[in-house]
Amino acid sequence: MRRSGPADPRPARPPGSTPRASARAVALEILRRVETDRAYPDLLLDRLPGRAGLEVRDRALATELVYGALRWQRLLDWHLARVSHRPLAELTSWVRALLRLSAYQLAFLDRIPPWAVVDEAVELAKGRRSPGAAAFVNGVLRALAPRPRPWPEPTPTPLEDPIEALALRTSHPTWLVRRWVARYGAAEAEALARALNARPPLTLRVNPLRATSDAVAGALRAQGASPVPSRYAPEGLVVTDAGDPRALEPLRAGWCAVQDEAAMLVGHVVDPQPGETVADVCAAPGTKTTHLAQLMANRGRILATDRHPGRVARLRAACLLMGATIVEPHERGVEALAREVGAVCDRVLVDAPCSNLGVLRRNPDGKWRRQEGDLAGLAAVQGAILDAAATLVRPGGVLVYATCSLEPEENEAVVAAFRARCPAFAPDPIPEAVPAACRAAPEMLRMVPHRHGSDGFTALRLRRQA
């Protein structure tokens, strides 16, 4: 449970001096906006630290505080509630956010002294000029600060719901843990939940259109990073000691791209060949699209669609950076593209919009944003996209449906319903390039975080009968 997070980058502050804008202030603002505006933390982390003038180490600390507080939000609230004389729900959103990010540091980060956590939280509260807030924050955090680390996890009494207790100690919604327990059993559900609370590694996909694996690894080492080959994907590198990834020259030059190993394997499930016509119908921001171009040795044609102009702009930029010249970006839905070109594609990838419940280690706000009832609505959208995408597949061609979700309603059920509507599509075995350990069935890729050390991903491969 204990983590060694970034050290406190603050120099010692002279007595009486005014505190400067800090990583904690930026983290506080992001956490507040995630809760009140339903903003996305990754987008805010791209913008606010730069505007605040944070240096690299401060950016790293702000990122750690935001994602750590979101990952452990439910458990942190449980601890806070036991020392607060006021219910957390009655607090203003910024006080609640301040207590969460401070409690996260006290409970999980070794390299930040408790006095520094309390001191900075009180200073931030004073800056808000809210009567009594600083004293309240000080009292709550001083009650938590002396606790020996690690803090004890809550254990259920015989009369309590064990699933509720599991969800609390792993800091997940009960509805989600209940589904996992029913599917995997309690022990494996807990392992999955804990894996989704872990910090994900930095994984890079080497781009052979620009450089070799040896060249990328050498350039990374020259900047002090430590790359090693990934476990399952042949073009993957897992990188430690990288610092701010945005400063890595191989990334800036398009020699590689940030992509999880599970997402890389989706490209191998599609298995596009040089000279073929391929469609990627939910293509932006283009990470999988450029991988398909790599696998095709940049020969052939890739029709890449997305409805949103801003996202298509990111797709174009990614193709330019990675040298993927065979990609034809389209600002339209898959239905419009299918009406225009017809069944011309050898292979079609549907990387469908989904709940993102398989990538909670990268987007921890998702578990507080999603509700169980969302799955049915998402399945309807996914089925409609799959229906339209199928009309692009030529007889004998391949259709791959993928999501970053492990939930059956978004995967097996969507494909089963599609096959009932379109019986011309039959399950097709995944190519041998995909390791057997990553297949849940001959036609299904399933990457599970606690088993594979990757994001959670599902991909099913179908072939249209000739």
Q: In this structure, which long-range contacts are made by residues 100-104, counting pairs with CB atoms below 8 Å and at least 24 apart in sequence?
A: 100/31, 100/69, 100/73, 100/76, 101/24, 101/27, 101/28, 101/31, 101/65, 101/66, 101/68, 101/69, 102/137, 102/141, 103/69, 103/76, 103/79, 103/141, 103/144, 104/65, 104/68, 104/69, 104/72, 104/76
In three-state secondary structure terms, 3 is strand
- Specify which residues 402 forms β-bridges with: 351, 459
Dihedral class, residue 353 (left if φ above 0, else alpha if ψ from -120 to 50, else beta) = beta
In three-state secondary structure terms, 294 is helix
Q: Which among 199, 248, 243, 240 is positioned nearest to 9, based on CA atoms?
A: 243
- The answer to whether 398 touches 465, Cβ cutoff 8 Å, is no
Active site residue 404: yes
Distance in angstroms (rounded) separating the CA atoms of residues 35 and 26: 15
Name the strand (E) or helix (H) holding 337: helix 334-341
Dihedral class, residue 394 (left if φ above 0, else alpha if ψ from -120 to 50, else beta) = beta
The structure tokens listed for 439 are 């297949």
In three-state secondary structure terms, 427 is strand
Question: Helices marked H in 174-254 — which ranges?
Answer: 174-184, 186-196, 213-222, 249-252
In three-state secondary structure terms, 403 is strand
Distance in angstroms (rounded) separating the CA atoms of residues 262 and 404: 9
Alpha carbon 156 to chain centroid, angstroms: 30
Distance in angstroms (rounded) separating the CA atoms of residues 186 and 180: 8
Residue 224 CB coordination number (10 Å): 10
* Residue 466: exposure state from Cβ atoms within 10 A (0-12, 13-18, ≥19): exposed
Q: Catalytic residue among 319, 354, 404, 438, which?
A: 404
Distance in angstroms (rounded) separating the CA atoms of residues 128 and 370: 31
What does the DSSP 8-state code read for residue 395? Answer: E
| Number of residues in the chain | 466
The structure tokens listed for 340 are 């225009």
Q: Which residues are catalytic?
A: 404
